[in-house]
Amino acid sequence: MGTDLNAPLGQDRKPRSAGAQKPGLTFGRLLLGIGVIALIGISTWSVLKPSGLIVQQKPETQVLADAAKPGDTTATETAADGNTPKQQQTSGALSGAHVEETLTNNGSIVTKFSPKQRDGDGPAFIQVGRTKGQDPRLATFPNDALLEDSPQGRLPITGPDGLRPMDQYARPWSGARGIRIALVVGGLGLSQTGTQNALRQLSPEVTMAFAATGNSLQRWMQEARRTGHEILLQVPFEPFDYPDNNPGPHTLRIGLDAKKNLSELHYSLAQITNYTGIMNFLGGRFLSDADALEPVMRDLGRRGLLFLDDATSAQSLTGTLAGTIGVPHGFADMVVDNQIDRTAILKKLDELERIARRNGSAIGVASAFDESVAAIAQWMDEAGTRGIEFVGVSALVKDPQQQ
């Protein structure tokens, strides 16, 4: 019919002109290839540039040179092998952040940025109060900035920035104003089996008080901190019936001068670290004598420690002096194990709960007897379902810095 539809496949085609070329590299394809190459190049540059995913590391000599810039303060440590230095650099006072660079043993550089106050223009950092508590992964280690050397050993001290041991080693809590109870179990370190039993059975919310006259205190302290407990140190003070009732060596006594009593106090304070404050072990006579007690309270205040009075002496002056001097302090509302009987202890704990509901909070103290530990563990499991929050004792003391 004269159309292509009736022509045999491949026949009657018009001959191809002599100048026609087979499809090849056209201008459009050339542009497309250049675009793909350019895209790959830009992507590679973005990845490899210093601000990308690959961290540019300076050679050690450059790090040391940077650390010497004017306005910067630098601290250098020597690694354990004695060969490779660790370089920490803190930015100058006008910077908006602290910048610390640490040269590790394998030659890598770790940079840490943290905000600080600054002058002039730039972002403002809002301080809402000091954070209490310690990273649980570091809870067994003391903050070296909160320790000072003494003839008796390393003693707690308020840090150069005002950080107190009471804040650093406090157990964090919710901050809610519900019903709060702090339970303090003391006498730890005096008996190995009793200490093991208490650490095994008691919830981390229980504050542990270690006797300064105990044994293996550093080991037990680390175990308590590792499992989340806030801890206190029990210091021996002279009771009314001393020496018939003797709290042990290094007891603070009213017959000693202030210098000697402070030396005895420092001996006790140096036995362990990582505690928020001290609690008296006996001491009715000493705590009722203002002349003997005042130098002790002033020293505790300077060191950023709290004082917990077990409230076993009605004549104690700790509250009066602590309030005057500005020392964080608290009083136990009840000794829950005056009777070493499980049923009697449970009744006392119920009474402590009634006090807490009436006043908003309460502090109970006990000793690490097997009966006391078992009763406290049982009662806490039940009381926790009644809307009670168990907190470290530092959350319930009167703190002049928080008023």
pTM of this structure: 0.69
pLDDT band at 35 (very low <50, low <70, confident <90, very high): confident
Identify the top-confidence range among 32-46, 65-79, 353-367.
Answer: 353-367
Tokens encoding 204: 């981390």
pLDDT band at 38 (very low <50, low <70, confident <90, very high): confident
Q: Tell me, what amino acid is at 11?
A: Q
Average pLDDT over residues 245-254: 96
Average pLDDT over residues 271-281: 98
pLDDT beyond 90 at 348:
yes
pLDDT band at 106 (very low <50, low <70, confident <90, very high): low
**How far apart (Å, rounded) are the C-alpha atoms in residues 284 and 240?**
6
**How far apart (Å, rounded) are the C-alpha atoms in residues 27 and 383?**
83
Q: Which residues pair with 279 in a beta bridge?
A: 234, 308
pLDDT tens per residue, range 138-166:
899 999 999 999 999 999 999 999 999 99
pLDDT band at 127 (very low <50, low <70, confident <90, very high): very low
| pLDDT in the model for residue 121 | 54
Q: Could you tell me which residues come within 8 angstroms of residue 236 by beta carbon, excluding any fewer than 6 positions away?
A: 212, 213, 247, 248, 250, 251, 252, 268, 281, 282, 283
Angstrom CA distances, 254 to 124, 239, 269, stand at 53, 10, 19
**How far apart (Å, rounded) are the C-alpha atoms in residues 403 and 399?**
7
Query: Which of 208, 264, 257, 250 lies closest to 231, judged by CA?
Result: 208
**How far apart (Å, rounded) are the C-alpha atoms in residues 195 and 370?**
10
| pLDDT in the model for residue 292 | 98
pLDDT beyond 50 at 390:
yes
pLDDT tens per residue, range 349-366:
999 999 999 999 999 999
Domain ranges (residues) in the chain: 60-115, 137-402
**How far apart (Å, rounded) are the C-alpha atoms in residues 274 and 230?**
9
Angstrom CA distances, 257 to 210, 297, 358, stand at 26, 15, 43
Percent of the chain whose pLDDT exceeds 90: 64
For every residue of 117-158, DSSP letters joined together read ---SSSPPPPP--PPPS--GGGTTS--GGGEEEETTEEEE--
Angstrom CA distances, 16 to 2, 4, 20, 262, 401, stand at 20, 17, 7, 113, 98
pLDDT beyond 60 at 389:
yes
Average pLDDT over residues 92-104: 52
In the CATH hierarchy, which top-level class contains the domain 137-402?
alpha beta
| pLDDT in the model for residue 2 | 46
Q: Could you tell me which residues come within 8 angstroms of residue 160 by beta carbon, excluding any fewer than 6 positions away?
A: 145
pLDDT band at 117 (very low <50, low <70, confident <90, very high): low
The mean of the pLDDT values for the chain is 81
